[in-house]
C-alpha cells in the first residue's frame, strides 16, 4: 500500500489548511472582539449558527460548488471549503476580548497602523489560543474523511484516512495493515500536541471554554 503517498497528501493538505485557517480565524476573531461596526453582533450570531449545521447537510451543494470550480481531485478542493471555522472564530473572539483596549489605543496614538498593531501586539499576546487552533485544526484536517471522500476521485490523491478505508474489502479486511497504518497516522498529531502543549491549557482557559 502506498502509505507514504497517502501521508504526503494528508500532510500537504493539513499544513496548508492550518496556516490559512488559523490566519483567517485570527483576523475574524480580532475584528469581532476589537472593532465596532454596524451589524457586528448579528453577524457574529450568524457565524455561531454555523456550528449547528451538520456537515452532512451541505455535502451535496459543497460537492457541486467544488465541481464547478474545477477543484475535484485537487488539494485546494479539500482546503478551501473549510478555510474558516466558526468554532475557531468564536474561540479567538472570546480570547481577544480579554486583551486590554488601552494597549491598542496606546499603539494607535504612537502612530502604529492596524496591521502593525495586529502583528506586533495582538498576535504575540495570542500565542495560547494560536496553539489551541493549530492543534484542533491539525487534528480535524488530518482525520478528515468526508470531504476528501467526495473531492478526491483519483487513488493517487487519497489521504491516509481514505487509504485506510480502501483496505476494508467486501469479503476480507486487512486488519493487521489497518492497525499498523492507524498507529503510524497518530505520530504527526502526537508531535504537534507535544510541541504546543505548553500553551494548550492556557489557551483553553483564556477563551472561556473551561
Would you state the pLDDT for residue 141? 92
| pLDDT tens-digit series, residues 35-67 | 888 888 899 999 888 888 888 889 999 999 999
Predicted confidence band of residue 17 (pLDDT cuts 50, 70, 90): very high
Would you state the pLDDT for residue 208? 44
CATH number of the domain that 89 lies in? 1.10.3720.10
Does 54 or 76 have the greater pLDDT score? 76
Would you state the pLDDT for residue 150? 92
Does this model's pTM top 0.85? My answer is no
Helix (H, G, I), strand (E, B) or coil at 151: helix
Cα–Cα distance, 29 to 23 (Å, whole number): 10
Q: What is the mean pLDDT of residues 58-79?
A: 92
User: How many folded domains does the chain comprise?
Assistant: 1
Closest by Cα among 47, 54, 37, 48 to 146: 54
Would you state the pLDDT for residue 193? 81
Domain extent for 125: 3-206
For 30-42, the DSSP string reads HHHHH---TTHHH
Contact 128, 95 (CB under 8 A): yes
Would you state the pLDDT for residue 209? 43
Would you state the pLDDT for residue 172? 73
| pLDDT tens-digit series, residues 99-118 | 888 888 998 998 888 889 99
Backbone dihedral angles phi then psi of residue 186, each to the nearest 5 degrees = -80, -20
Amino acid at each position: 500500500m502506498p502509505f507514504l503517498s497517502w501521508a504526503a497528501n494528508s500532510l500537504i493538505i493539513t499544513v496548508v489548511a492550518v496556516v490559512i485557517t488559523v490566519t483567517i480565524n485570527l483576523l475574524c476573531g480580532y475584528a469581532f472582539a476589537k472593532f465596532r461596526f454596524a451589524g457586528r453582533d448579528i453577524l457574529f450570531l450568524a457565524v455561531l449558527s454555523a456550528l449547528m449545521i451538520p456537515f452532512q447537510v451541505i455535502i451535496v451543494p459543497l460537492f457541486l460548488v467544488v465541481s464547478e470550480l474545477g477543484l475535484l481531485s485537487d488539494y485546494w478542493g479539500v482546503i478551501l471549503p473549510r478555510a474558516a471555522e466558526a468554532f475557531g472564530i468564536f474561540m479567538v473572539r472570546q480570547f481577544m476580548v480579554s486583551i486590554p483596549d488601552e494597549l491598542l489605543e496606546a499603539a494607535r496614538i504612537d502612530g502604529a497602523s492596524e496591521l502593525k498593531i495586529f502583528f506586533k501586539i495582538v498576535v504575540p499576546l495570542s500565542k495560547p489560543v494560536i496553539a489551541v487552533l493549530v492543534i484542533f485544526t491539525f487534528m480535524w484536517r488530518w482525520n478528515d474523511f468526508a470531504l476528501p471522500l467526495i473531492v478526491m476521485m483519483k487513488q493517487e490523491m487519497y489521504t491516509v484516512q481514505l487509504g485506510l478505508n480502501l483496505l476494508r474489502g467486501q469479503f476480507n479486511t486487512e486488519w493487521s495493515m489497518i492497525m499498523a497504518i492507524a498507529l503510524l497516522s497518530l505520530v504527526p498529531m502526537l508531535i504537534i500536541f507535544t510541541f504546543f502543549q505548553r500553551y494548550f491549557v492556557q489557551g483553553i482557559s483564556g477563551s472561556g471554554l473551561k
